[in-house]
Amino acid sequence: MKVLVTGAAGHIGKNLVKAIHQDYELVLTDIKQDEELDKLGLFQQADLAVLEEVLQLAKGVDAIVHLGGIATESTYEQINRNNFNGTYHIYEAARKHGIKRIVFASSNHAVGFQPINQSIGPDASHLPDTYYGSSKAFGENLANMYNKKHGIETASLRIGSYLEKPSEHRNLNTWISVRDMNQLIVRCLEAEQIGTSVFYGVSSLHNDYFDNRDAAKIGYDPEDNPEDYREEIENVKMENVTDYIGGMFTNFGR
């Protein structure tokens, strides 16, 4: 399978590429140059906000792992250019080149204003907490439209806290380890059918925030458990815990 990975120089992208480069033919891209990626696939520096560049990247690929864009809150102008427009260009490229499988890096911030302690599932209503979260909700809705109109399948991954290990109390529900993130993406690439699925990017199939048991249906079986770190972080000041899943993001811009 030939796979285009956007945002390949980012934290998630780099770790993913290192883990899977021997199993797939990879086309790698990022807005910044990265010499290490030249050894792991065909690297092409590109700006996802420029449609012509995205169309060139997507020629001849079978699937896209879309990790590119701004990965935190920023100005509307920056989020609009890099996340809204960049994601639209990915879907347009998939449509024009007949690509039928996309793995989209969504975020827990697409549902950031959902209250905690109710374990929401994939059907939870979008309640974004930021411009960033809104761009991820947009991407999920774009996936639905392109599926209905053009038959493109998408797994939208509402990623929690991608860290080497949990660092504070909120991570007991939001943490995903490097190897579990890699596993989840591979499961989405290899699943026979995904339609327009939503999975939570967490190292758990069920916790106080997220009901992620649908991910088990495509073979996702987390190898790491945030509970293993509970004692280590029990006394960490709970700065990022609010009444909402999005944590401190829900306070940005107030």
Element (H, E) at 156: strand 153-159
Going by their DSSP bridges, the two strands 2-6 and 63-66 should be labelled as parallel
> What does the radius of gyration of the chain's CA atoms come to, in whole angstroms?
17
CB under 8 Å to 145, separation ≥6 — which residues? none
Structure tokens given for 254: 């107030």
Q: What are phi and psi for residue 164, nearest 5 degrees?
A: -60, -40
CB under 8 Å to 192, separation ≥6 — which residues? none
Q: Does 146 participate in catalysis according to the annotation?
A: no
CB under 8 Å to 240, separation ≥6 — which residues? 168, 169, 170, 247, 248
Strands (E) in 17-121, as ranges, are 25-30, 42-45, 63-66, 101-107
Of the listed 24, 88, 91, 132, which one is catalytic?
A: 132
Catalytic residue numbers, as ranges: 132
